[in-house]
Structure 1
């Protein structure tokens, strides 16, 4: 089923923020809190620095009306620069890979592509960009 959510980037304090949101919304994490240390080692990538392994890779929390708040830590060591303005994305989860491509291609016209649509290690077809109006978007089609 298609859905829309909000994806937040934090500068190392995602767990603290989401523990707070969990208490406020009286809700529970969808699949717990995944950390960068949970990622399988990949010999084609450099080893992950120890100080990043405890950081949040992904967390999901239902808030109101079926809306899912999602987030990650954005470590500088991995090339992220988390700042006000780039710390939030609208995340679209369409019903098909074709619709994911259509949304990505049309919304990103005259924008800045951060990551083209591609199959990702976390089991989804994913891409991200900033549209021509400066709004950040993520398109995520979970591979079933």
Structure 2
């Protein structure tokens, strides 16, 4: 079956954001490629963009990978308030849901505090300090298998 892995664009702070995500999820980066690593005659890179992230990948759990990059200056800025999708995390326990919710929402904006939901799961929603929108859910019927 195909996997869906989220990919996030940043305005020059991808490495900072992914270091924060790694502090919450644990693990190690599978790949970090900087724009200067691809620089050449066919792909000139401005000096101000050299150390920005072209690709970063953080494996999460057994099959998921969170990926991202910095947008080079010549492409313009990403509108961080126009992220129209959310990253949904299905936790394996209430404790894990609390840990992820509290860790990732630190310094961000909580939209829905984590608590028992009307549909029977333990759910919360927030925008992290980098503007990325997240949902954390624990459904005891599925135990993180959704």
TM-score using structure 2 length? 0.51
Contact 2:60 2:66 in 1 (8 A): yes
- Shift in Å, 1:57: 0.3
Count how many residue pairs are aligned between Structure 1 and Structure 2.
Answer: 86
- Mapped to 2, the partners of 1:57 and 1:88 lie a distance apart of 21
Contact 1:9 1:71 in 2 (8 A): yes
1:77-102 alpha-carbon deviations (Å, 9 max, x no partner) = 22133012258699xxxxxxxxxxxx
Q: CA RMSD in A?
A: 2.5
Structure 1 unmatched ranges of 5 or more: 91-144
- Shift in Å, 1:63: 2.0
Equivalent position of 1:39 in the other structure: 38
Are 2:71 and 1:74 equivalent residues in the alignment?
yes
Contact 1:35 1:57 in 2 (8 A): yes
- Shift in Å, 1:64: 3.7
| Change beyond 3 A, Cα 1:89–1:8 | farther
Equivalent position of 1:125 in the other structure: none
- After TM superposition, the structure 1 = structure 2 runs for residues 108-123 of structure 1, keeping only pairs within 5 Å, are none
1:44-92 alpha-carbon deviations (Å, 9 max, x no partner) = x5x32101010000001012452210000013x22133012258699xx
- Shift in Å, 1:40: 4.1
Determine which structure has greater relative contact order: mean sequence separation of CA pairs < 8 Å that are 6+ residues apart, divided by chain length: 1
Larger Rg: 2
Segments ≥4 residues shifted beyond 4 Å: 86-90
- After TM superposition, the structure 1 = structure 2 runs for residues 76-115 of structure 1, keeping only pairs within 5 Å, are 77-83=73-79, 84-86=81-83
SS of residue in 2 equivalent to 1:51:
helix
